[in-house]
Amino acid sequence: MRGSIPTPGPTTVRYGGNTSCVEVRMGGEIILLDAGTGLRALGRSLLAEFKDRPLNLTMLLTHTHWDHIQGLPFFGPIYNSRCRLRILGCEGTRKGLVNALTGQMESTYFPVPFNKLPSNIEIEELKDFNFNIGPVCVRAMRANHPGLCVGYRLFSPDSMIAFFPDTESRTGGKDREMIDFLRDVDLLILDSQYDSEEYQEHLGWGHGCVDDSVTLALQAGVKQLSLFHHDPDHDDKRIAGLVRHARQLVAKQKGQLKVDAAREGMTIKLPLKPVARRS
């Protein structure tokens, strides 16, 4: 949930210092969103849970900036022959997604080459922005971020979540396409790196501010907003202050939106929607 670079230390214990990585369990599938440094601990917990059983995972990458792929070489399941991992993402460089991911495991950077891994890994570039993972419908949309970067919306009959770890929301909720894409999601995990003052100094950098995140979430009728991609210079106190600020903004507008900041190890259980009855 941390942006740009891991930030371990006593001042980041509460929200955590690892970079972007979220696990989603939906429709019987295990879907991993991004492969930041948080992926290492997730790999440990998956191996502890599945032990000798086969592990089938799908990973959706938003883009190949370093903070979103750096955990992959340290992901335990890729060293396990019972693991199948399908990685989907956009072409991050002119050399393609495979090179972007495996290049970081060349001997200059890492001791174990990608082609020596015992697990079964498939890397596919997104050709279609609408696809399914088992019963889960996935839609991707371009994010407002330098290079080729997307966000995802995952939809099952029970719930809908959206993940935009790196995107600059347009000031004042002026992005109709984004509002439509996020319409009524139960949980929105959204880049909210800056406060509004900091944002003025980083216009066009591809990251958003808390005020715009709240506006966007309210306009889209989102139920729960998870502030994400915390600035490396923001300590726990600062992030807690941003959460308070966000909640005040919601209260001022008499909104129902729940807001929190993503933190390491946090689990969010989505309420099941009542099944629509046909009359």
CA proximity to 62, closest of 144, 179, 177, 131 = 144
- Using CB under 5 A, pick the residue from 166, 168, 212, 231 that binds Zn ion: 166
Torsion of CA 240, 242, 247, 252, to 10 degrees: 150
Residues 47-86 that bind Zn ion (CB under 5 A): 65, 67
Sole window of 23-31, 39-47, 160-168, 176-184 interacting with Zn ion (rule: CB under 5 A): 160-168
Helix (H, G, I), strand (E, B) or coil at 155: strand
| Shortest Å, Cβ 200 to Zn ion | 20
Residue 113 CB, nearest approach to Zn ion (Å):
26
Residue number, 27 or 208, with CB nearest to Zn ion: 208
The nearer residue to Zn ion, 2 or 153, going by C-beta atoms, is 2
Question: Which among 28, 13, 23 is positioned nearest to 230, based on CA atoms?
Answer: 13
212 token code pair: 């715009």
Task: Give the closest residue to 99 by CA, choosing from 121, 123, 70, 73.
Answer: 123
Decide whether 166 or 211 has the Cβ nearer to Zn ion: 166
Minimum CB–partner distance for residue 65 and Zn ion (Å): 3
The minimum distance between CB 193 and Zn ion, in angstroms, equals 9
Closest separation in Å from C-beta 207 to Zn ion: 8
Supply 233's token pair: 């210079």
Site string for Zn ion, 106-145 (x = CB under 5 A): ----------------------------------------
Between 65 and 230, whose beta carbon lies closer to Zn ion?
65
Distance CA 24, CA 44 (A): 16
Q: Candidates 46-54, 91-99, 124-132, 164-172 — which segment interacts with Zn ion by CB under 5 A?
A: 164-172
Of the candidates 8, 11, 23, the one whose C-alpha atom is nearest the C-alpha of residue 266 is 23
Residue number with the shortest CB distance to Zn ion? 65
Residue closer to Zn ion, measured from CB, 67 or 211: 67
Eight-state DSSP code of residue 28: T
DSSP annotation string for 77-139: GGG-TTEEEEEEE---STT-HHHHHHHTTSTTT-SS-GGG--SEEEEEE-S-SEEEETTEEEE
**Is 191 among the residues that bind Zn ion (CB under 5 A)?**
no
Interface contacts to Zn ion, rule CB under 5 A: 65, 67, 166
